[in-house]
A and B are shown apart, each in its own frame.
Chain A
């Protein structure tokens, strides 16, 4: 109803090209993966699949990026000096339930891990040379530290100390990227591979998916930092920061689970 005022605070946007556009991207990504994996049976070079996947990823990121840009612009239009209660609740619920779905995804892989491990005669299986505990321990300390730094940033944000909030956010994603570097270092040392039986399969799928989530979380933190530099957020209104912090803590907790089960136990 363009012609009269709303009697509600819900955000009802107009038509948007960006969400269906990112659907095209995701679709192309899926078709590209099929073309890549089965290039031989389709009688075409793998390059076709690769190009499709790259284009699909680019379109997805473009669509999603434009969509996120719209969201940022709309939140700037509303301003950060007061909180729109119903929108804030919707966003919080949305992020919370998204994390719930992520937990269930990891639960499937943890379930596979425990099932296979409890059905194995010996664990680790014979001929598996497990990794040294030093690197993952350092990684655990890194992630725990990053959990503290993001909290310090949050407190600084609530005290309206934007410089401190920015710096600690910067520190947090830096730790995230260092973690990823360490993880790559560890992968390069490992004497087993994804095809080394169930040990390799569970190890790489669990730590790999976790690593991917660290990457996503770090990129979200970079976006938080950029928005802080642009003067977004206020002590009352900083949902995007909080959502990212929640996500970061979730990634952190998954790692603790991994460290305890995959590395220590």
Chain B
């Protein structure tokens, strides 16, 4: 059938492929690309903030006495903050998890592929067009959106953002959103319908559980985001006034609908990571997951609570006090199931025979740092505290401890863990160790000072600042440059290992889940015979 096509794998093969492993790898590769692009924008932000005043985003640069006209402004800086988040969220983190899920989930449940393979192809190949719209928005008159990734009106209405950039952002997110929704359906149906005989729901590996729950969040949240940005699109272009007070509309309405998706989106970007950590910690501790059933229920509880806490992003808009209290309480409740998870990982390691591979180091590093990100979240959730730290660098610190110490480190853990399975080559542990330790140090150097900046009152998304914040910003920028540079180790490691890595055996780590029972890399349809789970 496909063996003839597999011999010569050119562009047309990958363009038309319906194999979940090919599609998973394409997702991961494109996530890496946008991780670098989003990272470049972050470096630009940090370089600007190394000193008060304007450095990078000025009309001309002074390079060794020569004046070079670059025509940048503080507005360009605003585009950087908006697009850094946009690229990282929609084109790096989510696709990276979708890629790992696409590759690994069908194998973990003993299935030959995803439920709807052609749909799987569609959900990947719509993304390049979405990404192209997003990237090209920099080059149209008016440029990319400069109002933060949240695109709040009135800053993004036709008066204040008249260019094509915001509309391109909207359509790009629409395309990525359709991809998310259809991908979510594919994941749910695959997991519900294609498990090998004997694999009951409560025998599924936790990574599969985390994807089942994540897919539900995507399915319920993404269409609501589509609604919000459709209203923004018609407000901008077709004269509706959903968010325009002149016609009876209300900008706060946008925030409600937007955050109904975008708060669960945070969980979409961390729950699959939780799943990866459970797999990695269990394998490298040589122990079964501690408290499997509570872990499943904690995942579900985080998702359910995650859907009803969106307004904690909006305490300062003048909401009803009772509503604020309810949203605060619900938000803090999320700490309970999250705590269940942290303690399950610790208890799984407790008394285990721990093998500190790079994947395990990233997992343990994640547990330590993510706890910090979770705790700062509790502060942000408290209404009176949030009044003071809202829109300050404290929130930036919090979300980066969730996305970088959380999502990024879990993705890294997953990549180091499953790379041998996906490519048939072992990754260099030596380079991996360098990558882990430097990443760990620079990550903290970058983001830890931001807590203090925030508590001192430094506002986020502003190109210039009061000189009292200088020292902290210098530290943060040094950290960011270091963080960026050491990611070269990762990229080098990936390509070096692909070429020169040792051949990977079927089960290099002594794992007990189904992916380790098949060759590395697995054959086209994973299993010669569908496995039977006892």
**What residues make up the interface of A, taking CB atoms closer than 8 Å to B?**
1-2, 6-8, 10, 12-20, 22-24, 26-27, 30-31, 33-34, 37-38, 41-42, 67, 86, 89-90, 93-94, 97-98, 100-102, 104-105, 107-109, 111-112, 115-116, 119-120, 125, 193-202, 204-205
Contact = CB atoms under 8 A, between A and B. Distances in A.
Given A12-B18, A90-B116, A108-B227, 7 more contacts: A13-B117, A97-B184, A101-B184, A101-B223, A107-B223, A195-B240, A197-B247
Given A34-B164, A41-B142, A23 B189 contact: no
B531 to A, nearest CB: 10
A201 B243 CA distance: 10
Contacts of A19: 18, 118-119, 121-122, 125
B16 A112 contact: no
A194 B5 CA distance: 52
Contacts of A111: 227, 256-257, 260
A30 B164 contact: no
A108 B116 contact: no
A205 B231 contact: yes
Given A12-B113, A23-B125, A201-B234, A30 B133 contact: yes
Contact of B193 (A26, A38, A86): A86
B345 to A, nearest CB: 31
Interface of B: 1-3, 5, 13, 15-18, 111-113, 115-119, 121-122, 125-126, 128-130, 132-133, 140-142, 163-164, 167-168, 171-172, 174-175, 178, 181, 184-185, 188-189, 192-194, 219-224, 226-228, 230-231, 234-235, 237-242, 247-250, 253, 256-257, 260, 523-525, 528-530
Contacts of B118: 13, 16, 18-19, 67
Please provide the 7 A-B residue pairs with the shortest distance between their CB atoms, ordered closest to farther.
A108-B227, A27-B129, A195-B239, A201-B240, A197-B247, A105-B223, A104-B223
| Secondary structure dominating the interface of B | helix
A10 B113 contact: yes
Given A37-B164, A101-B185, A101-B222, A201 B256 contact: no
B247 A90 contact: no
A243 B140 CA distance: 43
A30 B260 CA distance: 25
A93 B256 CA distance: 30
A188 B188 CA distance: 43
| Secondary structure dominating the interface of A | helix
A223 B117 CA distance: 23
B211 to A, nearest CB: 14
Contacts of A1: 1, 523-525, 528
B162 to A, nearest CB: 8
A105 B529 contact: no
B530 A7 contact: yes
A8 B111 CA distance: 9
Contacts of B113: 10, 12
Contacts of B239: 193-195
18 contacts: A12-B18, A19-B121, A26-B178, A27-B126, A27-B129, A27-B132, A30-B174, A41-B140, A41-B142, A42-B164, A100-B219, A101-B223, A107-B223, A108-B226, A116-B242, A194-B239, A197-B241, A205-B240
B164 A116 contact: no
Contacts of A100: 219-220
Given A33-B171, A34-B171, A115 B188 contact: no
Given A27-B126, A194-B238, A198-B242, A42 B224 contact: no
Contacts, number: 216
B167 A38 contact: yes
A94 B186 CA distance: 7
A105 B227 contact: yes
Nearest to A36: B237
Of A18, A26, A101, A120, the most chain B CB neighbours within 10 A belong to: A101
A154 B3 CA distance: 42
Nearest to B524: A1
A26 B175 contact: yes
Contact of B16 (A17, A30, A101, A108): A17
B244 to A, nearest CB: 9
A111 B132 CA distance: 32
Contacts of A8: 112, 530
Contacts of A86: 193-194
B298 to A, nearest CB: 24
Given A97-B188, A101-B222, A201-B249, A12 B240 contact: no
Contact of A119 (B18, B247, B250): B250
B111 to A, nearest CB: 7
Given A19-B121, A104-B224, A116-B250, A2 B3 contact: yes
Contacts of B15: 17, 20
A2 B257 CA distance: 49
Contacts of A26: 126, 129, 175, 178
B55 to A, nearest CB: 30
B163 A38 contact: yes
A38 to B, nearest CB: 4
A194 B249 CA distance: 13
Contacts of A109: 227, 231
Given A14-B2, A15-B18, A94 B167 contact: no
Contacts of A202: 242
A15 B5 contact: yes
A115 B250 contact: yes
A19 B15 CA distance: 9
Contacts of B227: 105, 107-109, 111-112
Contacts of B141: 38, 41-42
